[in-house]
Amino acid sequence: MDLPSFFRLDGRTAFISAARGHLGTAMTRALAKAGAHVIVNGRDDAKLAAFEDQLRGEGFSVERAAFDIADMAAVRAFFGNLKRLDILVNNAVSMQVKSFAALEPADFAATYESAVTAAFECVRAALPALREAAASGEASIVNIASMYGQVAPDGRLYATREGQSPFHYGPAKAALLQLTRHLAAELGPQKIRVNALVPGAFPARIDPELGERLAGRTMLGRLGTPAEIAGPLLFLASPASGYMTGAALNIDGGWTAW
């Protein structure tokens, strides 16, 4: 196999949750450009339909699946009707941004449910479809974590404590990283690989002064752009990473390597 074909996804079906998000849009486009048929998920059917139409207008093979990824019955119903799935990207997380003092146990539970329990249930519900793909090659699961699942936010970079990464976000992403390892051990014998992408600072909108401080914290001296998550995602989703499972691939400009 020549090198470029390692990253091609022709003839494969991919599912991505939170497909319209800041990084979700870039990842969806990357999968589609590599030749995959992409099932885009989100809660708002009207917005998802517009996104689907836009991508189809650009020549990509896309279909939408509008449901709440934290609705376990909806997850089971959708994946129960799917015959084959080559790539599953667990990208969704839902949370209310609150200060440390204002957080309630229910806030932690809701964030954990959307980031970790939902990812687990997607994998379990999709397992027959993933096994179908693995029977003729392999299947790949990519969980989207965060550097704040590995390190704590540096409060000195922020003007206020309320401005930093929410207190219940990092712990949920840390749990997702551990879930990745457990799933890799469980599913490896079935030729289903499970890895995690660990993005650093990829802000959609940010105060310029805060942006400078965050950029200064990286080894590369700048923030990430959504397009820069495309290559790492394709690497983990494609045969290029065929001997890789249970791993966490950091895309953080060196932030966590100091």
| Location of structure tokens 């809660």 | 43
- What is the pairing mode between strands 13-16 and 37-42? parallel
Dmax (CA) of the chain: 56
Catalytic residue list contains 112: no
User: To which H or E segment does residue 70 belong?
Assistant: none
Report the alpha-carbon distance of residue 255 to residue 247 in Å, rounded: 18
Copy the structure tokens of residue 175.
Answer: 């749990």
Pick the catalytic residue from 112, 148, 158, 169: 169
Copy the structure tokens of residue 208.
Answer: 């310029």
Burial class, 74, CB count within 10 angstroms (exposed 0-12 / middle 13-18 / buried 19+): middle
Sign for the pseudo-dihedral over CA of 186, 189, 190, 191 = positive
* DSSP per position, 94-117: ------TTT--HHHHHHHHIIIII
Contacts of 59 (CB under 8 A, 6+ apart): none
Neighbour count for residue 45 (Cβ, 10 Å):
13
Amino acid (one-letter) located at 147: M
**Hey, which residues are catalytic here?**
169
